[in-house]
Structure 1
Amino acid sequence: MTLVNRCRVHRGLDALPRLAAGGTGPVLLVHDAALDGNPGLAACHRLLAQSGAPVRVVPVPGACSLDDARALAPRLTGGRLVVAVGGGSLLDTAKLALAVADPLVARILAAPQRSGWVLGPDRPRPVPLAAVPTTLGTAAEVSGIVSYVHQEQKRAFTSLALQPEAALLDARCTEGLPGHLLVEGALELILRGVGPVAGSTGPWTAADEAALGLGAEAAALLTGIGATGAATAAERTALAELSVATQEAQLLQDRLPFTVKVWFLANNLAHRLGLRKMTALANLVPGYWRHLAARDAAGADRVARTWAALRGAVLAASPTAPAPLPADPAEGFAAWLALLGVTPAPAPAPADTEAVVASCLRMWGGGLPMLAGLGAAELRLLLGDLRVLRPPTPAYRAGALITSHRGGRKTP
């Protein structure tokens, strides 16, 4: 067991009976309604039954909006513990539903405001929360942030009070995870780890080295999975551990807030076009890295060192790759996405481009710190790069390797 801020991370599900002991009322087993047949969910049922605590099962559809959280909140009252089992969207919905039980938080979340970044108070939730992820890479099980939709905006809400009391990682929960979700999850944790390395402007630090080491380890795992055509329990466990590690203090120290500015553009692009978040983010990275490299010599050095670490890990893990990855960071990352079979993001039509740019400036820019340094012209260029930075045909598709779907879903 390790501690990430205030969240205790357990390896396996065996801690569930102990977490369910004591208190009054039932354990509320909240799960994605699409998880029927998931062996991890079945194990949660068995272990909670062994605890002797009464269990109330609460299936939940997959979306994550403020209205979804408000509808779920009354169903989570009167329990001793909430056990949330599902992908990032389900875990975010459970976190948000428990938060809106506090009238102050509910008012903050619904209040009209320009910024899409909502800060919440650190106030105790009414029921402890244990998070059991069935997808990889989101780190929703240990984070103090949720993404939610309200009034046609996809906002971010952050508060220490959102962080679960416990997270339980078990490979049974990700058994049968479809290949495209496996690839997305690995890419998400890689980009969350190395994104601040590429985007920072200060001197090189130990946190930079640690983040590149984590990213390289995840890239090697992803390459090995693609080469063998299977994801073992050990590989899924390793990716889950690396995802949690991206939230640990040693990777977050010496970081200024909002160093990964492309996340905000990807958030609004995905919401506008109905894309999966990682489809938008991964495809925007090549153009964003090119922008960072052109900023100054330090930016070029950081981007080059970031890609060199990932490229080296990929080539070492797959010496017989179909084609070498270019050394240029933008071209190389784009080629890697093609090799992994990541779906290209469609280049937005002019009207969509202007809508995304306007929403980004309203929610994250125009004097707000999230997009500081990126104006309308730069955002248009990054969106325009979606037309030119992706090879048209992948050499192979890791995303087609694992086809059964028991891991849960994650909405755009």
Structure 2
Amino acid sequence: MTHVLYGTAGLASWLATATDHGVTLLVDAVVAQNPIMDRIRREIGKARRHETLIELDGPGDVDSVHRLAAQLTGTGLVLAVGGGSLLDQAKLASLLCGDRDAHRRLTVRQRSGMLMLPPSAERALPLFAVPTTLGTGTEVSMVACLAYPEGKRLITGDCLRPDLAVLDPVATATLPAELVSEGVLEVLFRITSGYLGDHEDRPTEDALVETLAALVVREGYAAARALAAGGRLGDALLLEIAKLSGLTHNEILHVGRPAYANKGWMIANELSTGLGTRKMSAIAVVMPELWRRIAGGDDRLGSARRLARLWTRLRAAAPAELPAHPWQGIITVIDAWGVNRSLRADTATLDAIAGRTVRAWGTGLPMLGALTRDDINDFLTCAVLPAAPHDSRVTGARVITT
């Protein structure tokens, strides 16, 4: 379980638990000048701990994580400050410092897009996480994403949960508007996908998901209004979005649900990798198509009945009128929040991505269930715009009608 601290006040008491080896401050190079750094350094000073600074630049891959693990050897505690990619690298590198079996598991060649660490895996170093972006919730989660030559892998294990997460609005106050909007959409996508991919009603868990999803919609519109007015989000709103992001990883929301209910994430992951786009650019085009197919009765992707129930709750939570059809409604929400939901690709590229998707998550692996390469190819063809001449990544707009 990850302890959560709201604001940096009190961080010094946690840092005082570090050994005499001191604190390694692991920082994303793009946020090295973020005002949150002054607050953190004051807390390190209060704890009377020696600071060693390591700046990371770039998304990282399996090789860079192993190099980072070597740099962390001998430290007493890792304090990681940055976006989702940096925090994921910190989680994996701090694990590798003391677990040789984890090293073997992370380097073994396999086609699966998921790598599960055993319950016996233990992280040798205490890890504190300070997120500077919104949406991933990786600061409290048991998962990490990492780039491999074959594509991105999802690595999961209890040992990856940080010991402490520090949520401070100062850390996210300077985020560009599009990253704020994308972060809120990512929270909504994550919390709804497992719910929709489950065909069974679970009264307690479902009520919690519906309540949290309604709150995300409310806060998403509040953020969109503030950004459209040319202002910045207030500290209270930034903190609420960060709280909701972390809560979506709470195990109570997922008790009893199928392990691989969120098939949309797998498709979006491979689409993002195949087109070299940001994850949320892919999710913004996958989510409407996913909901359209679920509403149309494709029970391999989710429950139409549960989607209708959830959408009734989300429509009531929105401050603006939304279409009655869920898939049309989610398009309206995405557009209102200012998230770009347009990607272009040619047919050969989409077919190759479909092949990568079933190789990593299907054809004998359980994640995609009965979905075939043809199914994924058809899904992507409907979700993604045809390539413009000489350019498979030009943005545009697509409206699907039935």
TM-score by length of 1: 0.88
Superposed displacement of residue 42, structure 1: 1.7
Instruction: Give the alignment partner of residue 97 of structure 1, picking from 87, 90, 93.
Output: 93
Residue from 9, 15, 23 that aligns with 2:10:
15
Structure 2 residue aligned with 1:280: 282
Give 1:203 shift. 2.4
- 1:404 matched residue in structure 2: none
The corresponding residue for 2:365 is 368
Partner SS state of residue 235, structure 1: helix
Counterpart of 2:234 (choices 232, 235, 241) is 232
The answer to whether residue 155 in structure 2 is matched with residue 151 in structure 1 is: no
* Letter in structure 2 aligned against 1:251: L
Contact residue 72 and residue 97 of structure 1 kept, 8 A? yes
Partner of 1:311: 315
- Partner in structure 2 of residue 79 of structure 1: 75
Q: Check 1:153–1:228 CA distance in 2 against 1; reply closer, same or farther (3 A cut).
A: closer
Higher relative contact order (CA 8 A, sep 6+): 1
Alpha-carbon displacement from aligned partner over 1:39-77 (angstroms, at most 9, x marks no partner): 112211111012111111111113131112112111111
2:336 alignment partner AA: L
Deviations 1:221-270 (A, max 9, x none): 11012123331100001111111111223212121111010100110110
- Contact 2:111 2:150 survives alignment (8 Å): no
**2:332 corresponds to which of 326, 331, 335:** 335
- Structure 1 CA distance for aligned equivalents of residues 268 and 105 of structure 2: 24
Provide the residue aligned with 2:107 in structure 1. 110
Distance in 2, Cα, partners of 1:58 & 1:371 = 39
- Residue 393 of structure 1 deviates from its aligned partner by 9.1
Q: Does 1:348 align with 2:345?
A: yes
Secondary structure of the structure 2 residue equivalent to 1:17: helix
Hey, which bits of structure 1, 4+ residues long, moved more than 6 A? 388-391
Question: What is the SS of the residue equivalent to 1:131?
Answer: strand
1:249 to 233, 248, 251: 251
Q: 1:397 aligns to what?
A: none
Structure 2 Cα separation of the partners of residues 231 and 310 of structure 1: 22
Deviation at 1:348, TM superposition (A): 2.3
- Residue 373 of structure 1: how far off its partner (Å): 2.4
Measure the CA separation in 2 of the matches of 1:106 and 1:296. 40
Change in Cα spacing, 1:391 to 1:72, as seen in structure 2 (3 Å) is closer
What residue number does 2:390 align with?
A: none
- Answer yes or no: is the 8 Å Cα contact 1:216–1:313 preserved in 2: yes
* Contact map agreement 2:342 2:396 (CA 8 A) in 1: no
Counterpart of 2:14, as a letter, is L
Structure 2 gap ranges (5+): 387-394
Residues 147 and 156, structure 1, Cα contact 8 Å, conserved in 2: yes
Aligned to 1:405: none
Match for residue 263 of structure 1?
265
Give, in angstroms, the shift of residue 387 of structure 1.
4.3
RMSD of equivalent CA atoms: 2.0
Identify unmatched segments of 5+ residues in structure 1: 1-5, 319-323, 395-412
Percent identity over the alignment is 34
User: Residue 120 of structure 1 aligns with which residue?
Assistant: 117
The answer to whether the 8 A contact 1:29-1:85 is kept is: yes
Shift of 1:347: 3.2
8 Å contact kept, 1:20–1:80: no
Tell me the equivalent position of 1:300.
304
Equivalent AA in structure 2 for residue 256 of structure 1: P
Deviation at 1:99, TM superposition (A): 2.1
Could you say what secondary structure the match of 1:201 adopts?
Answer: coil
Q: Please give the per-residue CA displacement for 1:362-408, whole angstroms capped at 9, x wherever unaligned.
A: 110112111112112221121012247999399xxxxxxxxxxxxxx
C-alpha separation in 2, matches of 1:391 and 1:271: 19
Measure, in 1, the Cα distance between the counterparts of 2:108 and 2:42.
42
- Within 5 Å, give how 1:138-217 maps onto structure 2: 138-217=136-215
8 Å contact 1:197–1:211 — kept in the other structure? yes
Cα distance in 2 between the residues matched to 1:40 and 1:188: 23
1: distance between equivalents of 2:213 and 2:305?
17
Distance 1:387 1:267 in 2: 14
- SS in structure 2 opposite 1:275? coil
Distance 1:387 1:269 in 2: 10
1:166 and 1:81 mapped to 2: Cα distance? 11
Q: CA deviation at 1:91?
A: 0.2
Larger deviation, residues 204-213 vs 28-37: 204-213
| CA contact 2:385–2:398 (8 Å) conserved in 1 | no
Distance in 2 between residues matched to 1:302 and 1:90, nearest whole Å: 36
Q: Distance in 1 between matches of 2:128 and 2:367?
A: 30
Question: What's the counterpart of residue 392 of structure 1?
Answer: 397
**Cα deviation 1:135-186 (Å, max 9, x = unaligned):** 1111110111111011231111111111111111111111111111111111
8 Å Cα contact 1:98/1:126 also seen in 2: yes
SS in 1 for 2:296: helix
- Any idea what SS the aligned residue of 2:344 has? coil
CA contact (8 A) 2:95 2:125 kept: no
Q: Measure, in 2, the Cα distance between the counterparts of 1:185 and 1:39.
A: 20
Determine helix, strand or coil for the equivalent of 2:345.
coil
Sort the Cα spacing of 1:87 and 1:17 in 2 relative to 1 into closer, same or farther, 3 A.
same
